[in-house]
Structure 1
Amino acid sequence: MEVTYGLNNQKIGRVVAWHEDATQKGNFVLTIETSTGTVIHSVEKKLSKKQEEELKRIVPKDDTGL
């Protein structure tokens, strides 16, 4: 699943893992792989209902909460 991130959401990355934010309902903490292969941990993102359903359906959940 691809999402935008960064200042003004100008970058696109692929979500490789996720978990729900324990402190803010409706937010997700994403692990993103950039187009250059760099992995970025702990990108907080509020998703649309459609994105949330896609995330839960195709991306593995990070059960460790890291």
Structure 2
Amino acid sequence: MYINYGLNDEKKGWVAAWHEDATQAGSYVLTLQTSTGAVIHAIEKQLSEEQIDELMRTVPKDSTGI
């Protein structure tokens, strides 16, 4: 699953894993792989219902929460 991220959503990254943010209900911590191959973590708060459905169906949940 690809998402846009960054200050103005100018970057695109592949979501490799996710888990729910324990500090904010409805937020997800996403592990992203960038186009350059770097792996980053980001809290994404603006997921649409469709994106949440796709995330849960197609991307493995990070059970470790790290």
What TM-score comes out, normalization by structure 2 length? 0.93
Shift of 1:7: 1.2
List gaps (5 residues or longer) in structure 1.
none
Higher helix share: 1
Regions of 4+ moved over 4 Å: none
User: C-alpha distance in 2, partners of 1:26/1:14?
Assistant: 20
The two structures, once aligned, show a CA RMSD in angstroms of 0.7
Name the aligned partner's letter for residue 14 of structure 1. Answer: W
Instruction: Indicate the percent of aligned positions where both proteins have the same amino acid.
Output: 62
Shift of 1:14: 0.4
Matched, 1:45 2:34: no
List gaps (5 residues or longer) in structure 2.
none
